[in-house]
Amino acid sequence: MDVNARRDEDLTILVDKDTRLLVQGITGREGAFHTEQMVQYGTNVVAGVTPGKGGNSVAGVPVFDTVREAVEATGANTSIVYVPAPFAPDAVYEAAANGIGLIVCITENIPALDTSLLYHYVRSQSARLIGPNCPGVITPGVAKVGIMPGAIHTPGPLGLVSRSGTLTYEAVAALTAAEIGQSTVVGIGGDPIVGMSFREVLELFENDPETRCVVLIGEIGGTAEEEAAEYVQEMSKPVVAFIAGRTAPPGRRMGHAGAIISGAGGSAQEKVRVLEQAGAHIATSPAEIADLVDVAMASG
């Protein structure tokens, strides 16, 4: 069996060929640049929103003044937010209030209190939030919703979920070089509070017929990996995990706002211990991930 056999595009998680993407903040520098990249990748970008810029276009994508106008005109069902931090929460609220089912927030430096309020509001609208401070999500060869470099991804059976954008790219490039393609890659974000959790994405991969193995990339700080481990032990699919920050001293923030060891929790050693007990294959460096995936898929 070819482990990288082309997946059925109707059997993907989060984004697929039916994704109708709306870009909030499309006329800004980042929004315009990444809109063009997503369009070139083949993502179905149907609209953009920048208040006061309605009637213009970016990379052939029509711009509207409000999300409501964009949804009514184009049937957008997914949004990506490239709005500066002071205004990004309002952009997420607007998307959720107007029926957008999946919201990907790229923006960083949103205060945790604002994100906490967003988290609960988005869920009250039966929508999903990925991020903030994340690279987005990609189903290789089908749709790219975010800032990740599309060229390093290739279709295949390996699902990947990560808190770190840079480590995601490193791992994906190594997997592709080892001829291990990906079903979907999800960057959930590195802030202390994020929309979708490791566990929620793992559940999607567990129920995805085209995903045969999952890679989880975590880091120090918080309890997200420990909560994921509780679900890993229930999964029928093998999981390979890598935890960054093994040498970080307690009390010192490393990289992401959420990457800080406090008290007795959040250390890389504790996260490795609980994931290993749950049955995950543990990589000690990103370079080991591809080899462990081969082993996991062969034994799983």
Which residues are catalytic, by number? 256
Q: Which residues lie closer than 8 Å to 136 by C-beta, 6 or more apart?
A: 80, 104, 106, 130, 144, 145, 146, 147, 148, 187
Sequence-distant (≥ 6) Cβ neighbours of residue 45 within 8 angstroms: 21, 22, 23, 35, 38, 39, 59, 61
Query: Which secondary-structure segment (H or E) carries 40?
Result: helix 29-41
Cα 164 to chain centroid distance, Å, stands at 9
Residues in contact with 76: Cβ distance below 8 Å, sequence separation at least 6, in sequence order: 20, 21, 22, 46, 47, 67, 70, 100
Helix or strand run (H / E) with residue 105: strand 102-105
Please, which residues bridge with residue 64 across strands?
A: 49
